[in-house]
Chain A
């Protein structure tokens, strides 16, 4: 006999309820797993192919050895290695995909345009994003809550770079009469140019900046650019480049027999990549770059270098240490926060990331800490010179391995 006193579910109601429970479980499961995980799952986004492939691969080599080194320090991380093909749109979609596949934190991404795209996705999904290399100032100026940056901004890079040119002049007793600034017209290059335009007049440099020349990094050659530099005839050329265009620049300088006293990068890569050394041979020596560098006296740097050499016997840590070091530190920051937070829940993990205070790390500078905008202001730079195709710290004197050579020797007769 049927009851007429209470609710009696039909088969359709039961099926509906079961479907609702299943859907809730499916939607909620990743979040629960995310929060309860014992190992932090980090999406490591890099431009491992395309225009920035050389640098992306260099970062990747650092990323590959990081979990093992961190494990020795008591951190547990699992990396999802993702190539965004030096393409901003791919960076955005790959970040979405990585988060959908369970990434609890994101680090990267070397190129500022792609880094901005990744930041937007992480902000929407409330997933912490640790920028390991990416210098566009706006990254930490747009009020993102799920982002920190363990890297110098373009103004910081240029300001430190200019200051160290003065240190270089004082150390070598070589003076410059005039300078030209040459830069790629990509995101990194144009932001550096903006910083240079603002900071050079304030820096009190003892020589004038005669001109700033932008070039297309995808250009087949830089012959016209070099002719333009040659017409100005500066004795210092400051460059903001990547390795592929730095090769073209030096190649055309040699062809046109243009010999400045120094080629200095006030805070950009390009002049020390393996690709640069291999393409130019002895012509790759004596260029200078003022950048944050791996601290050879740090115990953690030594551990990273040892693991790197074991995993990549064909690659040199000395060449990769800038990219590998910052890549390592990005993952270290996430792992350290996860260890303190005890959860991978996005908002809680982000709180822990913001409270970071790591004394023991790889790159030059003080403890890793972030200001209210998420910027680490304690990273310092060194003056590094390529010697025998190896980046060698030449200033400041307390960490220098060799003394700087200025003016650089003539192109002809190098071996």
Chain B
């Protein structure tokens, strides 16, 4: 029985890492640009379809397709911030909300027009494979996806920690006025951050197609999931997003196993409410000054 519990926890951790990667983009964008991307889940679904098409048409495995998709999403994010969203930075929250919700609706309906409403599975050749580690049986696809998610997270952390551009972006997040005073090109850094945020979503979406079927209507559910994770982890904290993803992944898996699988989402929201009541800034978030 202990092995079964361990198996459930491992499944939760692997899924949680993927969730964490998806939420990381949302957290990075909010932490720097101070815009909440309400079209976040929809972008993840676009990436799922991109990976699906690359696999079905060109036979490119989603694990490899993740790289060009992330690059493409970076470009899209950069352009979107530069051309549309930049004008809304600093404007009232409801205006930003309407803009991004509108974008989300356009994306969902565009996907419906192109791909139809039905689920599209990638059907990877190794989709049914699993590995035995002692008494544990672990899905190969989840392991690959989780390792790839960890690699992307590590690369992003390294970028922000060790590069001059990353340091400049962090400076913008910490003190916008100070960053502008020392001559940083804030507009360009915002666009870079939005691009990086979408690149994370692109990578996460490409990996998601390995464990879930692509459906246009998934977008709002993913947006909600990403919000839950970043609020639990701390809005604006990238480490918090990863920790939040792991917590949600494991709590859903355990709740599904111990209580009722159909009620597992309820537990992530219970966790969210508990965090909001006990630590409103999130587990790793900073208290507002």
Query: What is the interface of chain A, defined by CB distance below 8 A to chain B?
Result: 49-50, 53-54, 85, 185, 213-216, 218-225, 227-228, 230-231, 244, 247, 251, 254-257, 279, 283, 411
Contact = CB atoms under 8 A, between A and B. Distances in A.
Given A224-B257, A228-B261, A279-B123, A255 B128 contact: yes
Contact of A220 (B117, B123, B130, B212): B212
B2 to A, nearest CB: 11
Contacts of B129: 255
B261 A257 contact: no
A227 B11 contact: yes
Nearest to A248: B213
A221 B212 contact: yes
B155 interface: no
Contacts of A213: 260-261
A259 to B, nearest CB: 12
B4 A230 contact: yes
Nearest to B139: A255
Contacts of A216: 261-262, 265
B127 A224 contact: no
B256 A228 contact: yes
A193 to B, nearest CB: 11
30 contacts: A53-B117, A85-B117, A214-B260, A214-B261, A215-B262, A220-B208, A220-B211, A221-B212, A224-B8, A224-B11, A224-B264, A225-B256, A227-B4, A227-B7, A227-B8, A227-B11, A228-B256, A228-B257, A228-B261, A231-B1, A244-B119, A251-B128, A254-B128, A255-B128, A255-B130, A257-B130, A257-B137, A279-B121, A283-B128, A411-B128
Contacts of B117: 49-50, 53, 85
B253 interface: yes
A16 B8 CA distance: 77
Give the interface centre of B139, B253, B262 by most chain A CB atoms within 10 Å: B262
Contacts of A230: 4
B121 A227 contact: no
Contacts of B11: 223-224, 227
Interface residues of B, number: 32
Contacts of B119: 244
A221 B15 CA distance: 11
Contacts of A254: 128
Interface string B38-56: 0000000000000000000
Interface in B50-109: none
Contacts, number: 73
Given A49-B118, A214-B261, A216-B262, A231 B4 contact: yes
A185 B262 contact: yes
Contacts of B260: 213-214
Given A221-B211, A231-B257, A256-B130, 16 more contacts: A49-B118, A50-B117, A53-B118, A218-B221, A219-B261, A222-B261, A223-B15, A223-B139, A225-B261, A227-B7, A227-B8, A228-B257, A255-B129, A255-B139, A257-B137, A283-B128
A36 B123 CA distance: 54
B116 interface: yes
Give the interface centre of A215, A223, A227, A255 by most chain B CB atoms within 10 Å: A223
B262 A251 contact: no
Give the interface centre of B128, B257, B260 by most chain A CB atoms within 10 Å: B128
Contacts of B130: 255-257
A139 B262 CA distance: 26
B109 to A, nearest CB: 13
Contacts of A231: 1, 4, 257
A214 B127 CA distance: 24
Nearest to A247: B121
Nearest to B264: A224
Contacts of B116: 49
Contacts of B118: 49, 53-54
Contacts of A220: 208, 211-212
A393 B7 CA distance: 38
Interface in B232-255: 252-253
B207 to A, nearest CB: 12
A310 B187 CA distance: 62
A228 B5 CA distance: 10
Nearest to B260: A214
Nearest to B128: A254
B164 to A, nearest CB: 39
A227 B128 contact: no
A230 B3 CA distance: 11
